[in-house]
Chains A and B, each alone.
Chain A
Amino acid sequence: MIQPNDRDILEAYLDSGLDDEELITLEFRICTEEDFARHLIEVSCEEIVIREWAELQRSRSWCSSLAKWPPGPKSRILSKWYLFAGTLFLAITLSITFIMIHLAAPPVVSPAENVAVVHMLSGGELKMDGVLYVVSDYLQPSRQYHLDHGVAQLQMGSGVSVLVSGPSTFQLPNPKSFNLLQGAVVANVPKAAIGFEVRTPSLKVVDLGTRFGVHVDEAGVTETRVFQGSVNCFSLKSGSTQGSPQRVTEGQAVKRSANGAITQSETESELLFGTCLMQEFGIRHLTGTLKYLSTMPSSVEPCEFTSNEHIYVFLERQSFSLPTDLNCNIPDQNRSEVLSESEPQGQFEPGVIKQGTKVDVYYIHHDIHCPGEPGYSEQRQAFFMKGGIRFKNRILGILPTDPLLLQTDQALGKPGVSYGTLEIRSAEDEIRILPDNSTLHLDWNVGVTKLNVVRVIVAADDK
């Protein structure tokens, strides 16, 4: 016989929210009480209909209206959304009906089948049970994938873009969820997919409209960093969330081991997510002493950002439309493919990149430790540093001399960064462009009297 609180119990059952004892009792009733089993079916059907309705509403970017809740005078706008969503629902239903009736293909397409597609794969192999996946392949839910090296970009069915760097092992339960067992990912979540979550053995990270990275090491320690927006982090124990969520906002990072508390993380982003971040910002590969930093310091003036170990690469502008024609050194189309030690600069010639061209702008910087700094050594006042950088797209030009750099600091530099006005920047000693037109090779004679700097202009993606 149905009891007043049976509905609550059945909803908890469907939500997997009963303990073992309650579960045994309930299953006994299902097997022995016909009306109770019928009641469960009815509750289940109602829950499904409500869920499908909610999913449909959500798919139309309803999140933007949540900030206004409780609703104000603009609720009529929301109603229009519902009307639109209802029309869409009808259209989808009619389309599915048409397909089922008239086509010989499998009549019902499970949304779960299109959980994600491989959008890009670079420098590694993505496999599931020994089967190799390539670009444009669809990934299946509830399967375990492994990326050995390099980086893969997955386009989730929910619209989320996930960059995975190898070695990583992961599963995709559904288009809105990503289980990271080991490795590193950076998720870029559009507004329509707010609520996207990344689960690890110890942490659940729920997106609140953001770009964030999650890293799991071999010991199961999870670290997450928010690059933009905010996330909620939940501790997990045996797959279930524990306690209140911890809000993590832009620039913050937290970590958690298997049974520990969520604590602040001090690990450098580039150590955990360097490969993903480079990929996201148009850099395919770095060699030698070059190192990419996702955060540019507030000043790159002399003696402000120094190193004896690395030449640093920063992204200054992305998908930037040039406001005027840009005078710079462009690759010489007739250059010799055989590199000449004596004339490396002969690979470039004065030229112009046209106004309106969409470009990514990079700043390559090296400044040796200055007197008074801990790393300064009088014995090492000059030495060579080498390295290469391969961009995703074609190099359009470089700005390797002080006049060209000074002319463009304001227009192409990163807003808020101080570049200084002293004429001591240049990179005239050695910059070579390789035949692929996307790779620069640097061989710099680093001295104490000047900074080695070059600004590189690269074609941006067509978005």
Chain B
Amino acid sequence: MLKVSSTFQSESGRLILQHRTALYGYIFSCVKNHSDAEDILHDVCVIAIDSFGQLEKKGSFFPWVREIAFQQVVARSRKMKRESPVNPHVVAALADAVGRVEEQKPQADMKDAMLRCLDKLPVHSQVLIMMRYADTEGGVSEIALSFGKSMHSVYSRLKRVKALLRDCVAKQLASEVSS
């Protein structure tokens, strides 16, 4: 059995963490299910660390690991035989797209900025976000029911909160560039 050196593990682990958001974002865009996406991401990480020694140019880590993710998504979709199978053309198009996004706007930076912005939200907006995202499906109707508001009202409010978040993230990233 191939013994993976600790140097490779250290480097590959660091790189995976650096690109985790983009990888997860890509996989989730393809499978649209968090449980499946987490499983695939796990498999991708294991494969990437086990075979990191085969990567010749460490600078091209993301295209390499994205290719592993592409293959894993396609392989998984073949196995699962769900009602709505994953479209391989979409998987390929999104693989190209995530490469360009990660190159131009590293999603790790977006994540850091987004977390800072989420912490800055007013408490009632934070609670709304928590209810929407931490809940299972059917969440909006349950939120509306719980607080005696219409679903339209809840959706509108969520939309406003997200717009605020995007503005905040854009400002955070811009200030980082200027500084």
Q: Which residues of A are at the interface with B, using a C-beta cutoff of 8 A? A: 8, 13-16, 23, 27, 30-31, 34, 37-38, 40-42, 44-51, 53-55, 57-58, 62, 65-66, 69-71, 75, 78-79, 82, 86, 96-97, 100-104, 106-113, 141-142, 173-174, 176-177, 195, 197, 204, 206, 232, 234, 241, 244-245
Is A110 touching B42 in the complex (CB atoms < 8 A)? yes
Assembled-state Cα–Cα distance A173/B37 (Å): 12
Is B94 touching A37 in the complex (CB atoms < 8 A)? yes
Contacts known (A45-B21, A45-B22, A71-B124); A241 close to B137, Cβ less than 8 A: yes
Is B35 touching A13 in the complex (CB atoms < 8 A)? no
A100 nearest in chain B by CB position = B13
The 8 A-B residue pairs with the shortest CB-CB distance, nearest first, are A100-B13, A45-B25, A54-B133, A37-B97, A58-B134, A110-B42, A108-B45, A44-B25
Assembled-state Cα–Cα distance A78/B121 (Å): 13
Give the residue of B13, B22, B28, B126 whose beta carbon is less than 8 angstroms from that of A101: B13
- A-B contacts, 11 of them at CB < 8 A, read A14-B29, A45-B24, A45-B101, A45-B110, A54-B134, A55-B134, A97-B13, A102-B6, A107-B16, A174-B35, A232-B142
Contacts known (A41-B98, A141-B35); A27 close to B134, Cβ less than 8 A: no
Is B21 touching A30 in the complex (CB atoms < 8 A)? no
- Say yes or no: is B55 at the interface (Cβ < 8 Å to chain A): no
Is A97 touching B138 in the complex (CB atoms < 8 A)? no
User: Nearest Cβ distance between residue B24 and chain A, in whole angstroms?
Assistant: 5
- Chain A binder among B57-65, B67-75, B112-120: B112-120
Most buried by A among B16, B41, B105, B137: B137
Is B13 touching A107 in the complex (CB atoms < 8 A)? yes
Give the residue of A49, A103, A195 whose beta carbon is less than 8 angstroms from that of B111: A49
- Say yes or no: is B145 at the interface (Cβ < 8 Å to chain A): yes
Assembled-state Cα–Cα distance A30/B33 (Å): 18
Is B127 touching A69 in the complex (CB atoms < 8 A)? yes
Is A110 touching B41 in the complex (CB atoms < 8 A)? yes
Contacts of A245 in B (CB 8 A): 138, 141-142, 145
Assembled-state Cα–Cα distance A55/B129 (Å): 10
User: In the complex, which residues 3-36 of chain B have their Cβ closer than 8 Å to any Cβ of chain A?
Assistant: 4, 6, 9-10, 12-14, 16-17, 21-22, 24-26, 28-29, 32-36
Is B42 touching A113 in the complex (CB atoms < 8 A)? yes
Q: Which residues of B are at the interface with A, using a C-beta cutoff of 8 A? A: 4, 6, 9-10, 12-14, 16-17, 21-22, 24-26, 28-29, 32-36, 38-39, 41-42, 45-46, 49, 84, 87, 89-90, 93-94, 96-98, 100-101, 105, 107, 110-111, 114-115, 118-119, 123-124, 126-127, 129-138, 141-142, 145, 147, 159, 162, 165-166, 169
Contacts of B107 in A (CB 8 A): 45
User: Nearest Cβ distance between residue B61 and chain A, in whole angstroms?
Assistant: 14
Is B94 touching A101 in the complex (CB atoms < 8 A)? no
User: Nearest Cβ distance between residue A294 and chain B, in whole angstroms?
Assistant: 28
Give the residue of B39, B89, B126 whose beta carbon is less than 8 angstroms from that of A112: B39
Beyond A69-B124, A101-B14, A110-B38, 6 additional contacts (C-beta under 8 Å) are: A47-B28, A51-B134, A97-B14, A107-B46, A110-B39, A112-B39
Contacts of B46 in A (CB 8 A): 106-108
Assembled-state Cα–Cα distance A23/B97 (Å): 19
Is A107 touching B94 in the complex (CB atoms < 8 A)? no
Assembled-state Cα–Cα distance A434/B38 (Å): 51
Assembled-state Cα–Cα distance A45/B24 (Å): 7
Assembled-state Cα–Cα distance A79/B24 (Å): 29
Give the residue of A8, A45, A107 whose beta carbon is less than 8 angstroms from that of B45: A107
A106 nearest in chain B by CB position = B46
Contacts known (A45-B111, A100-B17, A141-B35); A78 close to B123, Cβ less than 8 A: yes
Assembled-state Cα–Cα distance A109/B38 (Å): 10
Give the residue of A57, A97, A102, A142 whose beta carbon is less than 8 angstroms from that of B130: A57
Is B110 touching A53 in the complex (CB atoms < 8 A)? no
Contacts of B14 in A (CB 8 A): 97, 100-101
Contacts of A8 in B (CB 8 A): 159
User: Nearest Cβ distance between residue A409 and chain B, in whole angstroms?
Assistant: 43
Contacts of B100 in A (CB 8 A): 34, 38
Is B101 touching A49 in the complex (CB atoms < 8 A)? no
A53 nearest in chain B by CB position = B118
Is B97 touching A34 in the complex (CB atoms < 8 A)? yes
Is A48 touching B21 in the complex (CB atoms < 8 A)? yes
A36 nearest in chain B by CB position = B97
User: Nearest Cβ distance between residue A177 and chain B, in whole angstroms?
Assistant: 6
Contacts of B126 in A (CB 8 A): 57, 82
User: Nearest Cβ distance between residue A133 and chain B, in whole angstroms?
Assistant: 19
Is B133 touching A55 in the complex (CB atoms < 8 A)? yes
Contacts of A244 in B (CB 8 A): 141, 145
Contacts of B10 in A (CB 8 A): 101-102
Contacts of A197 in B (CB 8 A): 136
Assembled-state Cα–Cα distance A110/B114 (Å): 23
Contacts of B118 in A (CB 8 A): 50, 53
Is A142 touching B35 in the complex (CB atoms < 8 A)? yes
User: Nearest Cβ distance between residue A381 and chain B, in whole angstroms?
Assistant: 57
Contacts known (A79-B123, A108-B46); A54 close to B130, Cβ less than 8 A: yes
User: Nearest Cβ distance between residue A463 and chain B, in whole angstroms?
Assistant: 28
Is A108 touching B42 in the complex (CB atoms < 8 A)? yes
Give the residue of B38, B133, B159 whose beta carbon is less than 8 angstroms from that of A111: B38
